[in-house]
């Protein structure tokens, strides 16, 4: 473990992986890499006018496939102004990143962790903007798979209130589709009179993925059930999450998500998502720098997902 964090720039590396903080002209870029994945946070040239930093590359090293160039983005979150390696150990490596936002004096803060020989990336959101956006596949359209989606669909079909099913705003209208097309939401608890997506709840988490039906390539997300009260699907490319939408639930608090690649389609996304829960999200060891007024976050265990065999979880 490092004696002190790197506050501006720097690189930490050892036998299993590295994190590099790269100083640019007026912002920082960050690279995270282990034996399985290579991830780049930077400003994409195609979106340079927006002046935003997000994941522009998430590469599966074995195949060289890039899962997308617009991942872990957010509306109103601009350049990365601070970055620090806050943990560098044999069990994980963690970088803390702080973005400027459209709101003067407000920043968005994340801690991102990678693990030895693991495809899983953990993202701890300490403060967020209005949404979290994943758009992958670089022009290809994928198929969605969400744990409990079929039961949630049957529950939504029992709603007959015209204020909900015929809502004048498409962004809040409940429609008769398993995976509603944008802009119709998949979850909208505050605007659907408290209708909670209980069938999606896997021990306090929601598990989902998007993948190419021909190749099986795609990615998965594990997100907290209580904190995500509004959610959409983005054109067969990914997801849009709105944490604490309209103050529900309140108050805002830090939360954790996980991101990982899949190569065998939707069932693998759900299976690996369950493994992420059982191997990572249940470990209550406190780690990292604690921020005043915020609760501690949970650390993953030393064992790495897919390293040394797969744990089958049903």
pLDDT band, very low/low/confident/very high, at 8 (cuts 50, 70, 90): very low
Residue 9 pLDDT greater than 90, yes or no? no
Residue 227, helix vs strand vs coil:
coil
| Choice between 278 and 83, residue whose per-residue pLDDT is larger | 83
d(CA 37, CA 215): 19
Distance between CA 292 and CA 142 in Å, rounded?
A: 41
In this prediction, residue 2 has a pLDDT band, given cuts at 50, 70 and 90, of very low
Q: Does the pLDDT of residue 167 top 60, yes or no?
A: yes
Among 162-166, 244-248, 290-294, the minimum mean pLDDT is found in: 290-294
Cα→Cα distances 195→36, 175, 181, 201, Å: 40, 14, 19, 13
Comparing CA positions, the residue from 71, 78, 76 lying closest to residue 53 is 78
Q: In what order do the strands lie in the sheet with 93-101?
A: 77-88, 93-101, 107-114, 121-127, 255-262, 218-224, 205-211, 143-146
How far is Cα 46 from Cα 43, in angstroms, rounded to an integer? 9
- Rounded to whole angstroms, the Cα distance separating 260 from 244 reads 24
Q: Is 245 helix (H, G, I), strand (E, B) or coil?
A: helix
Question: Residues 160-180: what's their mean pLDDT?
Answer: 97
Class of 10-281 in CATH: mainly beta
Instruction: Tell me the pLDDT band of 238, cut-offs 50, 70 and 90.
Output: very high
The pLDDT, as a whole number, for residue 250 is 72
**In the chain, what are the domain boundaries?**
10-281
| Of 17, 26, 22, nearest in space to 6 by CA | 22
pLDDT tier for residue 204 given thresholds of 50, 70 and 90: very high
What DSSP character marks residue 223?
E
* CA 84 – CA 36 distance, rounded (Å): 23
What is the per-residue pLDDT across 265-306, written as a single tens digit (0 to 9) for each? 999 999 999 999 988 766 532 333 333 334 333 333 322 343
């Amino acid at each position: 473990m490092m004696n002190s964090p790197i506050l501006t720039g720097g690189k930490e590396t050892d036998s299993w992986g590295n994190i590099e903080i790269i100083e640019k002209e007026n912002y920082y870029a960050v690279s995270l890499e282990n034996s399985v994945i290579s991830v780049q946070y930077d400003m994409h040239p195609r979106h340079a006018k927006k002046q935003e930093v997000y994941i522009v590359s998430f590469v599966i090293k074995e195949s060289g496939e890039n899962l997308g160039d617009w991942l872990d983005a957010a509306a109103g979150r601009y350049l990365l102004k601070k970055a620090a390696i806050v943990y560098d150990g044999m069990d994980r490596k963690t970088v803390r990143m702080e973005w400027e936002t459209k709101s003067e004096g407000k920043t968005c803060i994340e801690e991102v962790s990678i693990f030895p020989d693991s495809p899983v990336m953990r993202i701890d959101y300490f403060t967020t903007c209005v949404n979290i956006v994943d758009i992958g596949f670089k022009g290809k359209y994928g198929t969605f798979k969400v744990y409990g989606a079929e039961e949630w669909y049957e529950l939504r079909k029992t709603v007959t209130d015209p204020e909900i099913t015929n809502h004048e705003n498409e962004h809040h209208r409940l429609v008769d589709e398993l995976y509603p097309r944008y802009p119709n939401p998949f979850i909208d608890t505050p605007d659907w009179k408290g209708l909670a997506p209980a069938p999606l709840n896997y021990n306090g988490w929601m598990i989902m993925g998007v993948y190419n039906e021909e190749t099986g390539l795609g990615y998965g997300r594990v997100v907290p059930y209580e904190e995500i009260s509004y959610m959409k699907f983005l054109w067969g490319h990914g997801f849009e999450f709105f944490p604490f939408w309209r103050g529900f639930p309140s108050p805002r608090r830090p939360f954790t998500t996980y991101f990982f690649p899949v190569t065998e389609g939707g069932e693998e996304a759900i299976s690996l998502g369950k493994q992420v829960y059982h191997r990572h999200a249940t470990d209550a060891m406190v780690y990292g720098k604690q921020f005043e007024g915020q609760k501690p976050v949970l650390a993953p265990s030393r064992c790495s997902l897919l390293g040394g065999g797969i744990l089958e979880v049903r």
